[in-house]
Structure 1
Amino acid sequence: MRQRNKPWADEFIQENEQLIIPNPKEFKGKWKELFNNENPIHIEVGTGKGQFIIGMAKQYPEVNFIGIELAKSVMVSAAQKVIKSEQSNILLLNVNAEDLREMFAPDEVEGIYLNFSDPWPKNRHEKRRLTYRSFLEQYKEILVPSGILQFKTDNRGLFEYSLVSFSNFDMKLQEVNLDLHAIDDPENVMTEYEEKFSSKGQVIYRCRAIF
């Protein structure tokens, strides 16, 4: 869905640099210093309007969360919600996550979340999928050896593709769930998209894997 332009987004981002970090590459290997604690770091690639990352931050206050979102209009919506939530264990990055290794050092991250990523269904766009092998190479480098990659989608084709991609990359699948909401997982935190479409009966798929 096309997001409505927010002409005040740039000004809002500049006024909230303590939350929306303007120069993330400078903090590579130093994110715990910015959070001012030694808690583990988890990142969400494509944080959307922030419902998931805020829910996770509330559920796991002992974890530091970093949300990455390229669209400014979406980022400011997420930031407004984070500010309202008063969660101190969240930071946001308004950047393109083409190469996470530019922003995170090896073994700096303990968890990565990919929620309802763009499926890029055409074969010529395969390299843009966030579960393509070039992205998996990034995740493997920045994750600690036992770090978890969690992937959720409502797109069956992308889910099947991702399982094959994980397997070809010799990842170990810890969970493959073909109907997440059927198991009523009390620890599952929903995104806005997940909440909307699952209420209409749309099946949600989830996979958890380690390198």
Structure 2
Amino acid sequence: MGKNKLARFAENKILPNVIQPTREEALNSFALKGKWRTDFFKNDNPIVLELGCGKGEYSVGLAKAFPEKNFIGIDIKGARFWFGAKEAVENNMGNVAFVRSQIELVDHFFSENEVDEIWITFPDPQIKYRRTKHRLTHPDFLERYKKFLKPGGIIHLKTDSEFLHGYTLGYLQGAGYEIVSAHHDIYGAAEYDPGTEHLKDIKTYYEELFSAKGKTITYIKFKIN
């Protein structure tokens, strides 16, 4: 393991906006479950999650754009989201937090109706059939999200994968979920829904790579409650 990674892991332990629960803590007694607003953010603002947050560009970017909301990035790669956590601390952003955990445990971190919105940004599309259940828009994951997403809460999927875009869109339509909007190419779209203009303003590290290769970036906004 490189020295830089080790240094980031060490700093994550002392950054005030990084939470690193053990699996046992997540499954049995996660202290902030149901108490994110009162005990961590110290406000009553809406909570927005970014699942598979990578370097945290979206969590931090959205937090800058919407200071009246709280943002939590979740990823197992602590050395990656260190970049976002560090930037947030250096800029005195009290509305951003990061949780180091597997996404499969996400429903153990939040209570019923505690989360207002979810962003899924450039997840692994898990194309192989045997990996189907690992797709973050698989029905099993959607059921997890229902446990803590408030009624009418929004989920955003932004991806370069036409496969994942089509899979998700097809499932949502077949299951009768409400699709608020869907774009096969956000940079070619003439207009956006109010409040999502930042789709082109905030770019993740992976989006920059994919765009440079000429890949189109897709987007779905939907509700599951």
Q: Deviations over 1:60-97 (max 9, x none)?
A: 11000000010122122222222233321101101111
CA contact 1:101–1:141 (8 Å) conserved in 2: yes
Write out aligned runs for 1:115-134 (5 A): 115-134=121-140
Structure 1 runs of 4+ off > 6 angstroms? none
Which letter maps to 1:28? K
1:21 maps to amino acid: I
3-state SS of 1:175 partner: strand
User: What are structure 2's unaligned runs of at least 5 residues?
Assistant: none
Q: Paired residue for 2:71, among 59, 65, 73?
A: 65
Out of 94-103 and 185-194, give the one that drifted further: 185-194
Task: Give the residue type in structure 2 aligned to 1:9.
Answer: R
Would the aligned equivalents of 2:50 and 2:72 in 1 still touch at CA under 8 Å? yes
1:109 maps to 115
TM-score, normalised by the number of residues in structure 2: 0.86
The answer (yes or no) to whether the contact 1:50–1:82 under 8 Å persists in 2 is no
Q: State the superposition RMSD in angstroms.
A: 1.9
Aligned equivalent of 1:81, options 87, 90, 96: 87
Provide Cα deviations, 1:115-166, integer angstroms capped at 9, x if missing partner. 0000111001100110111100011221111100000110101111111222
Distance in 1 (alpha carbons) for counterparts of 2:52 and 2:91? 19
Q: Which residue of 2 aligns with 1:13?
A: 12
Q: How far off its partner does 1:205 sit?
A: 0.4
Partner residue, 1:30 = 35
Matched, 1:146 2:152: yes
Aligned pair in 2 of structure 1 residues 196, 86: CA closer, same or farther (>3 Å)? farther
Identity %: 33
Number of corresponding residues:
208
Structure 1: runs of 5 or more not aligned? none
Select the residue among 200, 205, 214 that pairs with 1:201: 214
